[in-house]
Amino acid sequence: SAPMQDADFIPANKLEEALVQFLDGKIPQAEFLGTLANGQLYILMDKALPEGSQWDPGINLCVVSNEAGVALVAAFTSPGRADALQAEATEFAHGLLVSTGWLLQGLGPDVGVAVNPGYGASVELSPKVTGQLRDAFAKEMTELAGGQG
């Protein structure tokens, strides 16, 4: 399906503003990734996760493949952005807003992230990039915890 036109992509939050600026070449990738890593993403799941409960390993996330066949978890910069994909991938009827750091911790080494798949205002994070972000995030968390470990 053709990418949606972005005439109507009005940034709804800081992350979307950073995404649009990055795609327009106004901020460097590192700055965008920093905003992303400290932000929240909306992911689609095939089962509901009751609020406050532990993650259920039986839940499957909505994964899309890029042209190279790399698995990318579909993640959106705000919940409303997921509507079009949910209409197609009807089995992923449940969504959850999660911190990007939490999502990164749960991804396997061969999985990337597709931010806003289907939109012109989208970006693909390769497994390599998500791995680097995950490492950076873990390091940051360790430092925040007073360098223990």
Tens of pLDDT along the chain (149 residues)?
A: 344 445 568 999 999 999 999 999 999 999 999 999 999 999 999 999 877 778 888 999 999 999 899 999 999 999 999 999 999 999 999 999 999 999 998 898 999 999 999 998 999 999 999 999 988 888 877 887 775 54
Distance CA 42, CA 39 (A): 10
DSSP the chain: -PPBPSTT----SHHHHHHHHHHTTSS-HHHHHHHHHTSEEEEEESS---TTPPP-TTPPBPEEE-TT--EEEEEESSGGGGHHHHHHSTT--EEEEEEHHHHHHHS-TTEEEEESTTBSS-EEE-HHHHHHHHHHHHHHHHHHTTS--
Q: What is the pTM of this model?
A: 0.87
